[in-house]
Structure 1
Amino acid sequence: MGSMGQESREGLPFKLKNENLFHKKSHVHGEWIESMSGDWFSVADPGTGEIWAHCVNNTTGDVDRAVKSSHAAFQSYKKLNPMIRSQLLAKFDALIRENREDLARMLIYETGKPFAEACGEIDYATSFTRWFAGEAERISGTVHVAATPNRRVFTVKQPIGVVVGLAPWNFPIATALRKVAAALAAGCTIVVKPSPETPFTTLALAYLAQQAGFAAGVFNVLPVSLENTPSVCEALCKHPLVSKVTLTGSTRVGKLITKHCAEGLKKVSLELGGNCPYIIFADANLEQALSHLMALKFKHAGQVCVTANRVYVQAEVYDKFSEMVAEATRKLKLGHGAAEDTTIGPVTTPQSLVKIENQVKDAVAHGAKVIVGGQRVTDRGGGYFFEPSVITNMTQGMLLTREETFGPVCGLYKFDTEDEVVTYANNTSLGLASYFFTKDVDRTWRLLENLEAGIIGMNTGNSGSADSPFGGIKESGYGKEAGRDVAVGEYLITKTGTLTLEGQY
């Protein structure tokens, strides 16, 4: 960290078609500004471990200016006609799609994911901007005849106010837009604090929102270093002009954010960690189960909150399926995300490597067998690489079982009966997603009701879409993002009006 004086145009390791897309300063009230401290922080490329850019580093002293900007903008934006909000979101959506490849290149160097995955994230992200452009015009209240004679009861929906969006590094564009698009559709303004690893794509989104015509202060961005993140998050959560906080992050951080917001009774939405079971019964289509597993388990090197963290395979097909997974995993091409032949990139942070190594060592020490990979890669410079790995003979007491892995490690567990595997699957404090593969219709309904998760994949490993409510139960959080009605509803308040009529009715 240190002072850089001004937003220098240091050489980027990639070429942008739209050079105006890349910004390093905070976006507050339509302007690009430095922190009051004058500090900057560095951002490393996970594929090399080398610093490739610097970003302005905000402190608690910068919070008030950003929140007051959004509060001032809210006074006008909340009254904007829903059709106009819809049109602005549609223009925003079009600009993101227009700059898809540039945003994908930035994602590679922020997150490490391969180019095809980066493009896939943007396609997923724009499903939210498109969806919420329509939702903006679908917000409505109700009216009914009251139980009390001569009364009519009305409800009206109004935007809650200034929102703080706390976004993670694994899907920085998709998770940010899932919050931003819903808030803007509802008529709220928003201050986004991106993860220290991925500030530039969020700043690029703010730039495109401004180009789309959103007024100054409607969408502000405050980049923050890892060291300053706890204090800035606390200041944002406790600011008296903030009405709602939405977080995608770890369960540990979610509990801290909830405590901060409790003091002011802020409305909170939390999408937190997952320890998701992936269950394969003997009657399943194993090829189908394998293709969905590979896409889910190794996407972004396993750094997905809804990834298959524990893969349970019925005893009759355990050996066969283990070899199928091993064969498919050996075909993955590990490399820098910018390389054309890369199918799996590095993990995003060096801390992840330490956690993965410890989990694998613990599993082996307790009897597990590594049949593919299992090692940190040290011959690729300073990049944060871990071999795509498959481990068999997994048991319930291992760290890989009890903790969210967030790495390219697939642990395979053997089970005998449905009751047994449901017990194993639910034996976690987390409840984000669960998956199962079977051709038994009766079992399908039983599992849908008995698995303790907010998202259930039935013969599918990818159930996320803009029209499908996304969110967990237990310590995986509360509130929903995306979906019909519920997502925009997280950013609205309901007012009830009661009218007494004169005369006989």
Structure 2
Amino acid sequence: MTEFPNVVPGQLYIDRAWRPSKDGATSNVIDPATEEIVGTIAKATDADIDAALTSAQDGLALWRHTDAWTRSATIRRIAEILREWAPQAARLMTSEQGKPLREAEAEWLATADQFDWYADEARRIYGRTVDGHFTGNRILVRREPVGIVAAFAAWNFPALLPSRKLAPALAAGCSVIVRPTEEAPFSTLLIAAACHEAGVPAGVVTMITGSASKISEKLIGSRSVRKVSLTGSVPVGRTLLHLAADNITEVSMELGGHAPVLVFPDADIDAAAKACVASKFRNAGQVCASPSRFLVHESVSTEFSDAFVAATAGLRVGDGFDPNTDVGPLTNLKRITEAQELIEDAVAGGATIAAGGQRDERFDKGFYFQPTVLTNVTPDRQIMRDEPFAPVAPITTFESLEHALELANATEFGLASYVWTRDLRTAFHASEGIEAGMVGINNMAVATAEAPFGGVKHSGYGREGGAEGILDYTVAKTTIMTL
């Protein structure tokens, strides 16, 4: 049993050592449930970022030549440590991010799954031989690590999202520089502590906190970084793509979604409504793969809406440390303002507030918002186009499969999608017709370590998870030999 750290340092992790920034500057981390300071993190200077790059170059030189079985054993040990730490780590996550404790612990176990899966994939990076034009030729294709990876992830899953980048990159033989978010950095930094305890060599894993713009510009502007991986918003993705273009740096982008749920007349309506409510309001609706547009056949719309509202009414809002809490606070005041704007726009277009609809005034502090259901939402409203990163669920109707697909595909996003039907023909036609990287049929769980996760259109490109996830951290080298 590896002892859980008494304190997770809010410092830079460079060369297997925790260190303050060169100028000692820090910023505060706020608990969204109490609006109180839970800790401080270092703000990296240019000199700190230079040191991180130098360390990562040294780490890459060692790690890329470390055999796959050794890499596998080290990554497996990270998974074991994270599972050991999950109960205490969950409390750390809830204090900085706000999600209910049981959700936080589930996230840590899912984080460990990422390292477990890629511990195996480290030994399964396959090359191949190809027959050429002449019998005297030998053509060999080998997968090699892409190089130093710069990884950026969002605050809503501060352990799982960076692990989707760290685990496959380590398995492929890359060194990685991670920039933890300012909103919830300690969970990400705890992964560095687990890597340290597992014996990951110096320079292979580096973490630097501070200004997102400064760190991204300097890392991506360096010729040393050969791969950028981001989980974030479309505007941030565009910015990093422009930065990466100058050095022709490889990029993977997971840029959010606006997942449609198609509910057909033959579906188990009660089961669908309950599953959708549980999935929609998880993490207070701050989930990129969250179901966020509910498209229901007009013949069952009243039944589904009534069941959805009833299940929503049973949710309990509160501090994530309260075991009775189902929905914790949003991450900041901005999220509340945006939720209110979306609701006002929908109502102006004729929508009805069937549940919730405003900030939860029972709390003197904290960024709490009532789980909200909007019915009779017309397709032209903002909430049907823009991702509602909040506990707000819009419901509208469709007339036919073709109409449902038209509504489902009417956004620039294409990450996750969901279908509820008991008809096999409908299931296939709907799943094949939806423009999305992932489809859940009669279930809401599309994110798992063993399956590729990613989107199409403005939701980005590249895949995390599954056998495909490691490929983005490798390059194919061809050797053609004449005997």
TM-score interval, smaller chain: over 0.9
Contact 1:322/1:412, CA 8 A, preserved across alignment: yes
Q: Residue in 2 aligned with 1:134? A: 120
Q: Distance in 1 between matches of 2:450 and 2:187?
A: 24
User: Match of 2:357, SS?
Assistant: coil
Contact 1:64/1:239, CA 8 A, preserved across alignment: no
Q: Residue in 2 aligned with 1:406? A: 389
The residue correspondences of 1:317-466 to structure 2 (distance < 5 A) are: 317-466=300-449
Q: Distance in 2 between matches of 1:291 and 1:330?
A: 11
Matched, 1:160 2:146: yes
Q: Distance in 1 between matches of 2:431 and 2:160?
A: 27
Q: Residue in 1 aligned with 2:68? A: 82
Q: Distance in 2 between matches of 1:442 and 1:21?
A: 55
Q: Residue in 1 aligned with 2:169? A: 183
Please state how far the C-alpha of 1:298 moved relative to its aligned partner: 0.7
Deviations 1:228-275 (A, max 9, x none): 211221111111111101000011111110000000001100011101
| Among candidates 474, 479, 482, match of residue 497 of structure 1 | 479
Please state how far the C-alpha of 1:378 moved relative to its aligned partner: 2.9
Contact 1:48/1:380, CA 8 A, preserved across alignment: no
Deviations 1:264-301 (A, max 9, x none): 00110001110110110011111331232122101100
| Among candidates 8, 20, 25, match of residue 39 of structure 1 | 25
Q: Which runs of 4+ in 1 moved over 3 A?
A: none
Matched, 1:28 2:14: yes
Q: Distance in 1 between matches of 2:179 and 2:426?
A: 43
Give, as a single letter, the amino acid of the residue that structure 2 aligns with 1:259.
H
Paired residues, what number? 482
User: Match of 2:328, SS?
Assistant: coil
- Unaligned runs of at least 5 residues, structure 2: none
User: Match of 1:235, SS?
Assistant: helix
Q: Distance in 2 between matches of 1:71 and 1:191?
A: 10
Q: Residue in 2 aligned with 1:4? A: none
Deviations 1:141-176 (A, max 9, x none): 101221334212101111111101101100010011
Contact 2:274/2:308, CA 8 A, preserved across alignment: no
| Among candidates 282, 304, 308, match of residue 265 of structure 2 | 282
Q: Distance in 2 between matches of 1:390 and 1:378?
A: 18
User: Match of 2:295, SS?
Assistant: strand
User: Match of 1:466, SS?
Assistant: coil
The residue correspondences of 1:200-211 to structure 2 (distance < 5 A) are: 200-211=186-197
Q: Distance in 2 between matches of 1:248 and 1:56?
A: 22
Contact 2:274/2:311, CA 8 A, preserved across alignment: no
Please state how far the C-alpha of 1:386 moved relative to its aligned partner: 0.4
Q: Distance in 1 between matches of 2:47 and 2:234?
A: 27
Q: Normalization by structure 1: what TM-score?
A: 0.94
Q: Distance in 2 between matches of 1:441 and 1:33?
A: 57
| Among candidates 171, 177, 196, match of residue 182 of structure 2 | 196
Q: Distance in 2 between matches of 1:438 and 1:140?
A: 39
Q: Distance in 2 between matches of 1:337 and 1:404?
A: 24
Give, as a single letter, the amino acid of the residue that structure 2 aligns with 1:491.
Y
Contact 1:292/1:462, CA 8 A, preserved across alignment: no
Q: Distance in 2 between matches of 1:64 and 1:409?
A: 43
Deviations 1:282-321 (A, max 9, x none): 1111133123212210110000001111001101110011
Q: Distance in 1 between matches of 2:36 and 2:8?
A: 19
Q: Normalization by structure 2: what TM-score?
A: 0.98
Q: Residue in 2 aligned with 1:272? A: 255
Q: Distance in 2 between matches of 1:150 and 1:442?
A: 52
The residue correspondences of 1:59-98 to structure 2 (distance < 5 A) are: 59-98=45-84
Q: Distance in 2 between matches of 1:419 and 1:340?
A: 44
Contact 2:151/2:229, CA 8 A, preserved across alignment: yes
Please state how far the C-alpha of 1:18 moved relative to its aligned partner: 2.8
Contact 2:38/2:96, CA 8 A, preserved across alignment: no
Q: Distance in 1 between matches of 2:353 and 2:71?
A: 53
User: Match of 2:203, SS?
Assistant: coil
Q: Distance in 2 between matches of 1:112 and 1:347?
A: 7
Give, as a single letter, the amino acid of the residue that structure 2 aligns with 1:436.
V
Give, as a single letter, the amino acid of the residue that structure 2 aligns with 1:489.
L
Give, as a single letter, the amino acid of the residue that structure 2 aligns with 1:402.
R
Please state how far the C-alpha of 1:203 moved relative to its aligned partner: 1.2
Please state how far the C-alpha of 1:51 moved relative to its aligned partner: 1.4
Contact 2:141/2:479, CA 8 A, preserved across alignment: yes
User: Match of 1:386, SS?
Assistant: coil
Please state how far the C-alpha of 1:341 moved relative to its aligned partner: 1.1
Please state how far the C-alpha of 1:428 moved relative to its aligned partner: 0.6
Q: Distance in 2 between matches of 1:273 and 1:148?
A: 48
Deviations 1:36-71 (A, max 9, x none): 232100010010111121111113342111011011
Deviations 1:456-483 (A, max 9, x none): 1122211211111110010100000011
User: Match of 1:377, SS?
Assistant: coil
Give, as a single letter, the amino acid of the residue that structure 2 aligns with 1:482.
G
Q: Residue in 2 aligned with 1:111? A: 97
The percentage of aligned residue pairs carrying the same residue is 35
Q: Distance in 2 between matches of 1:286 and 1:315?
A: 13
Q: Residue in 1 aligned with 2:200? A: 214
Give, as a single letter, the amino acid of the residue that structure 1 aligns with 2:478.
T
Deviations 1:85-117 (A, max 9, x none): 000011111111111011101110111100000
Q: Distance in 2 between matches of 1:34 and 1:497?
A: 46
Q: Residue in 1 aligned with 2:156? A: 170
Contact 2:269/2:303, CA 8 A, preserved across alignment: no
Please, what is the CA RMSD of the aligned residues? 1.3
User: Match of 2:294, SS?
Assistant: strand
Please state how far the C-alpha of 1:379 moved relative to its aligned partner: 3.2
Q: Residue in 1 aligned with 2:40? A: 54
Worse-superposed segment, 437-446 or 24-33: 437-446
Q: Distance in 1 between matches of 2:117 and 2:185?
A: 25
